[in-house]
């Protein structure tokens, strides 16, 4: 392990440690309007939702090297509003193009070729090409300094959400692959939601799952069972009793315990969790007797 202390690390290196390790981050593509009525658009990946009731989004804006505020922060402080647009992979490069530090009188919608669209509840325009737009009012800003790189946390109340019909599945639920949000990784890396890399972990339905600490060592120490596989057994409410697995006892005449554990691992992968637990408990109850 590398041990890193902020006190003896250059801020620019610390920035990269945080950007590179806290990943993937969603990107808030923020549109605002300045005093002269010019649209402003810029991405911010220090961003998340922090409350559903009331709905609150936060993002943070770093100071420029000379300590001055970026246009996004100035505009939000002036007007008290912004649109948080989500970035789909189809507008990823345009998002990066908009992140260049243009003068405050430059409209980044025009620079990046994106289309401003009127909002329902606020004056700031949204990005038409975004599949999700949060129309927000400023709650408050918390400043962590006024020197170069210091950040200001912008806390926003969501007034209205616009979501494209195309991102919903047949059951009316949001489909992460259709939503196509990109994630920011460190440096120039980004993540795309493809069918192959999105996976599901069903909710644990048992009220009082066993947990790892209630499993026998023959399961938790098995070299064929990863933490992910053991978690499925640990999610059960109880382990099969000796009499329930008696019928499998003869397996141990044909196969050694390692093979039985490998078959159990395959059963877990097939979502046959209780069956797998039975096999593992055959080993636990009867292997020592052999």
Ligand X SMILES: Cc1cc2nc3c(=O)[nH]c(=O)nc-3n(C[C@H](O)[C@H](O)[C@H](O)COP(=O)(O)O)c2cc1C
Give me the residues that bind ligand X (CB under 6 A), please: 27, 40, 42-46, 60-62, 70-72, 96, 99, 101, 184
Classify residue 217 as exposed, middle or buried by CB count within 10 Å of its CB (0-12, 13-18, 19+).
exposed
Minimum Å distance from CB 121 to ligand X?
A: 22
Q: Least separation, in Å, of the C-beta of 226 and ligand X?
A: 33
Give min distance, CB of 176 to ligand X, in A.
19
Contact 83/125 with Cβ under 8 angstroms? yes
Which residue, 69 or 278, is less far from ligand X as judged by CB?
69
Nearer Cβ to ligand X (184/278): 184
CB of 237 to ligand X, least distance (A): 44
How many Å apart are CA 213 and CA 211, to the nearest integer? 5
CB-wise, 138 or 287, nearer to ligand X?
A: 138
Shortest distance, position 273 Cβ to ligand X, whole Å: 40
Take residue 6 and report the two structure tokens written for it. 């902020």
SS3 of residue 86 by DSSP: strand
Task: List CB contacts of 48: < 8 A, sequence separation 6 or more.
Answer: 26, 57, 58, 59
Indicate the residue among 72 and 261 with the shorter CB distance to ligand X. 72
Between residues 77 and 244, which has the closer beta carbon with respect to ligand X? Answer: 77
- Alpha helices by DSSP H, listed for 148-250, are 176-179, 217-220, 227-234, 242-245
Nearest to 208 by CA among 237, 241, 240, 238: 237
| Neighbouring residues of 197: CB distance < 8 A, sequence distance ≥ 6 | 191
CA distance 51 to 63: 26
The minimum distance between CB 44 and ligand X, in angstroms, equals 4
Nearer to ligand X, 101 or 228 (CB): 101
Q: What's the min distance (Å) between Cβ of 9 and ligand X?
A: 19
Of 89 and 220, the one with the shorter C-beta distance to ligand X is 89
Give the residue from 202, 274, 284, 207 showing the smallest Cα distance to 251.
284
- 15: tokens are 């920035």
CB atoms within 10 A of CB 81: 22
């Amino acid at each position: 392990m590398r041990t890193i202390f902020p006190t003896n690390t250059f801020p620019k290196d610390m920035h990269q440690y945080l950007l590179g390790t806290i990943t993937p981050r969603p990107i808030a593509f923020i549109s605002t309007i300045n005093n002269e009525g010019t649209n402003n658009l810029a991405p911010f990946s220090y961003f998340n939702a922090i409350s559903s009731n009331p709905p609150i989004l936060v993002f943070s804006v770093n100071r420029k090297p000379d300590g001055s505020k970026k246009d996004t922060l100035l505009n939000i402080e002036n007007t008290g509003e912004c649109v948080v647009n989500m970035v789909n992979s189809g507008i990823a490069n345009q998002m990066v193009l908009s992140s260049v530090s243009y003068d405050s009188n430059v409209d980044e919608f025009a620079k990046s070729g994106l289309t401003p669209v009127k909002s329902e509840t606020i004056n700031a325009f949204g990005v038409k090409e975004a599949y999700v737009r949060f129309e927000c009012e400023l709650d408050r800003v918390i400043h962590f300094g006024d020197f170069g790189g210091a950040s200001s946390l912008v806390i926003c109340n969501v007034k209205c959400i616009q979501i494209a019909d195309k991102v919903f599945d047949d059951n009316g639920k949001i489909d992460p692959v259709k939503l196509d949000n990109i994630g920011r990784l460190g440096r120039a890396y980004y993540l795309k939601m493809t069918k192959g890399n999105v996976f599901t972990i069903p909710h644990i339905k048992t009220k009082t799952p066993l947990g790892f600490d209630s499993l026998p060592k023959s399961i938790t120490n098995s070299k064929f069972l990863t933490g992910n596989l053991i978690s499925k057994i640990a999610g059960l409410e109880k382990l099969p009793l000796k009499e329930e697995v008696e019928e499998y006892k003869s397996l141990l005449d044909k196969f050694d315990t390692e093979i039985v554990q490998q078959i159990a691992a395959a059963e877990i992968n097939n979502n046959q969790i209780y069956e797998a637990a039975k096999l593992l408990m055959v080993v636990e109850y009867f292997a020592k007797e052999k």
